[in-house]
Structure 1
Amino acid sequence: MATDADASSPQVFSAESYFATQPPPPTLESDTARVREFVQRQVHAGSKVVLVTSGGTTVPLELNVVRFLDNFSAGTRGATSAEYFLKAGYAVIFMHRQFSLQPFSRHYSHSTHPFLDFLDIEDASSAEIAVRPGERPQLLRVLAAYKEVQRAGKLLTLTFVTVNDYLWLLRAVSQEMGVLGRSGLYYLAAAVSDFFLPRQKMSEHKIQSGKGSLHIEMDQVPKILKPLVAEWTREGFIVSFKLETDERLLVPKARQALARYGHQVVVGNDLHRRKFEVVFVSPKPGSASRDEVDRDYEESWLRIDLEKDPQKEIEDDIVGELLQRHERWIQSGVTR
């Protein structure tokens, strides 16, 4: 960690140098084995597979972690979208921040719809528990969908906490999904930290207070989309997300990302309008090779009216649009 007493220059990490210097999470090997087995089953079944990343990443400030920086994300978009992918018949690898929202259980979040609030004790003497009548229809729908997904073996969940966990896991999952070719879709909705503190710069123990200020110099997280597109999954259909607080930046930033990394779609969302409005930005078909910065782009806005339909979830339409685009990508069959 760079402080007044221990100054060090920031380092520019490529993906290669990052993985060469930062340690993998202890569960990486077992997680990779689970992914490999899951993907092989889906290949055998002829299923399309989507990787959904969800939730924010932390940046620890000490090796014995007491303090950390966090990202704004409860995982709502990822968890909701995963349900709609499952409903459409996709197998889902749900890679999420530990304790963030998950498919199906998201309907009964501890903060918005606590499950204890819709349970009653029918008979205290026999300790029988019942679901309140008004809650039964929705619970039955959610439970039936969850049980069917479990029966079919269509959902695999993986967890991360730190940005380091996320990067190692994303690489491992992407490489295992490479065998899917164009049947693999990558829905990168996680809020990933832009900066991190390399292990070599961390304080071993808790940072002590009492000096009046704390100065931390962090390094930039490597641009992981570049090797994802060019090396790990050369035929996958890759969707990234761009969140801004200034709507005027959404399309220009999305175009920059597409030009830099050469993937298929950026979904732009304004922080305050994200629940009812997004924009899809993508290269125009046949406009140029993926390596050309000056290629043409197209954008299309998706909006829903929550006043007319308060129960409508925009993720339903986001996933619906991407399913059509993914199918066209599969049918086009042109190797990048």
Structure 2
Amino acid sequence: MQSCYNTSLTTASESKVMAEPRISSIDGKLAEEFAVPSHVEEVKEKMATFARHHDAAGRRVVLITSGGTKVPLESRTVRFLDNFSSGRRGASSAEYFIDSGYAVIFLHRHRSLYPYTRMFSTINMLDALKFRGGEGASSNSGEVVVNQQVLPNIAKALKRYQEVKEGKLLLPIEFSTLSEYLHLLKAAAQALSTIGSKAMFYLAAAILSPLVKDWAPHAFVISFKLETDATILLDRAQRALDTYRHQAVVANVLDSRRGYVVVVTRDTQAELMVTEEDVEE
């Protein structure tokens, strides 16, 4: 089940001019309120190298964030405030972007759904595997056989995943806390700035990211707006456009969120619907 919190989608502007990110007062407080994780610079360099490699190959790169976050309630942490999201939207979107010719940086919550394995998340893997041993009852040599009735489409998913891995089209980066998410998102924006308009930001994590426009001022931004009350949905979507300077909002209601959305821009509203069969796929 997806979280009721906002998530955001951003795409890079086609502008040829590279602008320096704006420094906002909120951005200035980021390091003050959230300690910078020790691995941020290392991950930033990995993302920059990934981006340059695919840019040289003529391929666009999309950063996808996915899943929820947690915030500690005390300094010596025992309790957390956890914003849960399964990561279904981000994981499935990563597959679609790769199929559309993009390379994907997948910034995802630890243990949230993952591309190509997301459809098997409710299955006990050991129930789908059978060990055929060698000679002797105590022998550990042998082979493991997959029951494809328990894991439907596993051959197709495995084949595609291996192609993606061999092509180095997917760079997974994990986060757990809000602090990690914000600092890694900022590092990603800086890393992807080197490839200009070939970069896209698709912020599907269950966290609103108002700083995206400061870190990537020329980005085309689409937010996701999920509400429980249909009567206020369009008004909230329009307010998000004005407040966060986004170009479009994908708005939906909790009860029908997987089958019906309204794409709202400053001048238009477009309804989109999918069938139950489409949702299952």
Per the TM superposition, whether the score is higher than 0.5 is yes
Verify the 8 A CA contact 1:36 1:176 in the aligned structure 2: yes
Which residue number in structure 2 is paired with residue 290 of structure 1? none
Deviation at 1:257, TM superposition (A): 1.2
Work out whether 1:51 is the aligned partner of 2:35.
Answer: no
Work out whether 1:243 is the aligned partner of 2:243.
Answer: no
Within the candidate set 162, 181, 185, 2:177 is matched to: 162
- Normalising by structure 2, report the TM-score: 0.82
Higher normalized contact order (CA 8 Å, seq sep 6+, divided by chain length): 2
CA distance in 1, matches of 2:131, 2:117: 22
CA deviations on 1:73-121 (whole Å, 9 max, x unpaired) are 1111111111111111111111111111111121221xx1222222223
Deviation at 1:263, TM superposition (A): 2.3
Verify the 8 A CA contact 2:250 2:262 in the aligned structure 1: yes
CA distance in 2, matches of 1:184, 1:102: 22
Deviates more, 1:134-143 or 1:254-263: 134-143
Deviation at 1:277, TM superposition (A): 1.6
Verify the 8 A CA contact 1:181 1:235 in the aligned structure 2: no
Work out whether 1:145 is the aligned partner of 2:168.
Answer: no
Which residue number in structure 1 is paired with residue 143 of structure 2? 128
CA distance in 2, matches of 1:139, 1:169: 32
Which residue number in structure 1 is paired with residue 10 of structure 2? none
Which residue number in structure 2 is paired with residue 63 of structure 1? 75
Which residue number in structure 2 is paired with residue 256 of structure 1? 239
CA distance in 1, matches of 2:234, 2:109: 28
Verify the 8 A CA contact 1:95 1:158 in the aligned structure 2: yes
CA distance in 2, matches of 1:138, 1:161: 30
SS at match of 2:174: strand
Deviation at 1:127, TM superposition (A): 4.1
Deviation at 1:135, TM superposition (A): 4.9
Work out whether 1:232 is the aligned partner of 2:242.
Answer: no
Check 1:311–1:250 CA distance in 2 against 1; reply closer, same or farther (3 A cut): closer
CA distance in 1, matches of 2:192, 2:184: 12
Check 1:137–1:76 CA distance in 2 against 1; reply closer, same or farther (3 A cut): closer
Within the candidate set 265, 268, 281, 1:298 is matched to: 268
Deviation at 1:72, TM superposition (A): 2.6
Verify the 8 A CA contact 2:259 2:279 in the aligned structure 1: no
Deviation at 1:136, TM superposition (A): 6.6
Within the candidate set 271, 296, 317, 2:254 is matched to: 271
Deviation at 1:137, TM superposition (A): 6.0
Within the candidate set 125, 147, 165, 1:115 is matched to: 125
Which residue number in structure 2 is paired with residue 28 of structure 1? 40
- Normalising by structure 1, report the TM-score: 0.70
State which structure, 1 or 2, has the greater radius of gyration over its C-alpha atoms: 1
CA distance in 1, matches of 2:151, 2:27: 49
Deviates more, 1:127-136 or 1:48-57: 127-136
CA distance in 1, matches of 2:260, 2:49: 37
Q: Which runs of 5+ in 1 are unaligned?
A: 1-12, 193-222, 284-296, 314-336
How many residues in Structure 1 have an aligned counterpart in Structure 2?
Answer: 252
CA deviations on 1:270-292 (whole Å, 9 max, x unpaired) are 22212212221123xxxxxxxxx
CA distance in 2, matches of 1:242, 1:32: 29
Work out whether 1:172 is the aligned partner of 2:175.
Answer: no
CA deviations on 1:154-182 (whole Å, 9 max, x unpaired) are 11111111111111111110121123333
CA deviations on 1:46-76 (whole Å, 9 max, x unpaired) are 1111111111110101222110011131111
Q: Specify the code of the residue in structure 1 equivalent to 2:83.
A: N
SS at match of 2:126: helix
More strand by share: 2
Within the candidate set 56, 65, 88, 2:100 is matched to: 88
Verify the 8 A CA contact 1:178 1:234 in the aligned structure 2: no
Deviates more, 1:49-58 or 1:14-23: 14-23
CA distance in 1, matches of 2:124, 2:222: 32
Deviation at 1:19, TM superposition (A): 2.7
Check 1:107–1:18 CA distance in 2 against 1; reply closer, same or farther (3 A cut): same
Verify the 8 A CA contact 1:53 1:78 in the aligned structure 2: yes
Work out whether 1:16 is the aligned partner of 2:28.
Answer: yes
Q: Which runs of 5+ in 2 are unaligned?
A: 1-24
Verify the 8 A CA contact 1:122 1:129 in the aligned structure 2: yes
